[in-house]
Amino acid sequence: MPALPEHDFEDRLCQVFHETGESFVPDTPRLAMGGATRGRRRQRRRLALGAAAAVLAVSGLGAAVLPSALHTNGTGPAASPVPSPPVSDPPDAARIPQEAHLASAVAERLPKGLKIVRSDGSTQGSAAFPTNRAWAELVLDDGQGQSLLSVGVFNPHRGAIQPCDQSPFTELECRQTPQPDGGTVAVMQYTGKDANPSRFTAVEWVTADGMTITATSHNVARRGGTPDRPEPLLSAAALSSLATDPSWRTIASQLLAVMPDSTSTNASVQRPDLLPPGLKVVSSTAGAEQTATLADGDRTVVLRLQEEAADRSVLDWFADAPTLPDDTRIRSVANRPVPATQGSTETVVDVLRPDGRRVRVTAVNPAGAGSPDAGRAPLLTLDQLTAIARCPGWTVPAPD
């Protein structure tokens, strides 16, 4: 078989390993987003936080989900202290509560002493959008060069697969080991054919019921980039320890098997004027979750836009939210640190439009340890994100 270009190889590999099984009917309900009566909502939030603390303490995921004031463990990589930026703290009904970041959960499970240079990933929480996967990407540095780490979590309803049996690539060395529970752990290693080749090592844990965790360490700092070090930073043994952590099942159980249709009924609207002048669109993607990486020459911001039709739980979640003159309801949080990431922050605006469409716009400052931007607010402000969220049909611009 002829060798694929390296920039196509990993995309194809992911496609082979992570078929989502669209014939499956999802039987995992979306995360509960409330539904209590307005009079009981605040009390239930307090009770839920206490219950979550108890459950997550058992599962080991508490540090990734609970507010930073409740973090008590000392695990995770060491880093220079980063000053915490100011965090908006409007009344409960207006504020988006703390959510679980997969990047935080991964960071808590890394070997000590690593710097997190950059991070981004998906979130889960009482009002997070439904999704069929959780993901995180972190750029790590051990002093010998930077290395991209990517982690993906898929729920048990997608159907079990055998990674090595399905790989059509001659460039990939794949070893698969049966596990006592009936699942498998596959260790995959890839080396490109260039004089200074790209390499990655991946470990995939597939349980007997189909829960799948992948952890991949690269010798490049960004996808498609040139190697920054001879070998991936994390060894197969370190990746195996990360991928087979049993606490990932808590996250996997909350994922859908198939993504719901969230197509907007509005025509696409190109309104680049809603982005501040001087921001260049470095990359962008379309789909259920639009994303764009924007840069002003010195700093970078990751912009995400999600949209769905509001169901009853969404309506309840917005019931007490502030209402704008056009009847748009809005909840937000500005400049909030992403726990354990050594500097990443986020600003989020979530609106319920009068037409019943819900739109969430997130801006992430991905900068971490060693960056002068660590701990700073994202490049896009709360007002700018609000303008985007309130613009029906707004789409992420194409790369410049």
Domain 272-389 has CATH 3.30.70: no
Conformation bin of residue 345: beta by default, left when phi > 0, alpha when psi is -120 to 50 = beta
Burial profile 115-141: b = 16 or more Cβ within 10 angstroms, e = fewer:
bbbbbbbbbbbbbbbbbbbbbbbbbbb
Structure tokens at 37: 């009566």
Strand arrangement, sheet containing 172-178: 115-121, 133-141, 146-154, 212-218, 199-206, 184-191, 172-178
Reduced DSSP (H G I as helix, E B as strand, rest coil) percent helix, strand, coil of the chain, to 5:
20, 30, 50
pLDDT at residue 34 tops 80: no
Looking at the chain, the whole-number percentage of residues with pLDDT higher than 70 is 70
* CA nearest to 78, candidates 40, 25, 126, 114: 114
Pairing mode, strands 146-154 and 133-141 = antiparallel
pLDDT 10s digits, 216-272: 999 999 988 999 999 999 999 999 999 999 999 989 888 887 666 655 555 566 676
pTM of the entire predicted model: 0.76
Quote the CA–CA distance of 194 and 173 in Å, as a whole number: 17
pLDDT at residue 386 tops 90: yes
**17 three-class SS:** helix
The domain segmentation of the chain, as residue ranges, is 6-252, 272-389
Provide the 10 A C-beta neighbour count for residue 400. Answer: 11
